[in-house]
Amino acid sequence: MQLLLLLSLILSAFSITFDRSSDSSESCEDTSEYHPHPHRPRPHRPRPPPHKPRPPPAELTKCPDTWILFRRPQGNWCVTLFHKSQTWQGADNMCKTYGGRLTGLQTGQERMRLAEAARRIVQPLTPRNASVWIGARRKPECPRAGVCQDHNSFYWTDGHTTGTAGFQWAALQPDGLVEGKFGVQSCARLAVFSGGSAASPRHGAYDDYTCEYLPSRVTLVACGKKATRY
């Protein structure tokens, strides 16, 4: 009887072990049959087109009526002339009321264009010479003639004109004369001859002059300001 009972227990234990092994095998088989979705690459997105370079800013070419356009590398410049006899500072102040300053002249071409425009104004007024105040003053480090070279003894005051190519002095100028209480001649005028001979050695040339004086009976004022778009 005990032998039968022992045999029965052994068979029961074997049956349980077999069932567990079978379940484990089925579980492995089930796992081996599971196939997850394969990795899908992201769709290719085209690169955005490169930014187009901005077009250069439009050239500013608008001047008020009767003003002359001077094309300059640093920006275009408008110039006009007024018939007004006054001191250099008074002339510069008048230009400010028009949004400008007494103008400098950047090139020889600008200088002669202004001289010819002034001649046309002067001819009906006087048979003699006239003067045009321009935006140039003596450098403090050049207090008299001979200290600096002629083309480096003055500077442009309008804040726009550059370089020294526009300086063309008459013979023996600037001479740096001292005018009593007013001191050395520290402003500049452009000489105009109403006879109109552009070949005259002084027509369109500069002369240093006392800032507080009126250069001649007929004095013009040359004002300049930046050109605009409209």
Yes or no: is domain 82-226 CATH 3.10.100.10? yes
Q: Which residues contact 174 (CB under 8 A, 6 or more apart)?
A: 138, 145, 150, 153, 154, 185, 188, 206, 207, 208
* 200 has pLDDT over 70: no
Percent of the chain at pLDDT exceeding 90? 60
* 49 has pLDDT over 90: no
| DSSP-assigned beta bridge partners for residue 223 | 80, 102
Whole-number pLDDT of residue 92 = 98
Alpha helix locations (H) across 33-146? 88-97, 108-122
What does the pLDDT look like over 104-153, one tens digit per residue? 999 999 999 999 999 999 999 988 889 999 999 999 999 888 889 888 99
- HSE of 223, CA atoms in CB hemisphere, 13 A: 24
Whole-number pLDDT of residue 36 = 54
Between residues 60 and 56, the one the model is more confident about:
60
Percent of the chain at pLDDT exceeding 70? 80
| Arithmetic mean of pLDDT, 166-182 | 93
Question: Which residue, among 132, 109, 136, 110, has the nearest Cα to 121 in the 3D structure?
Answer: 132
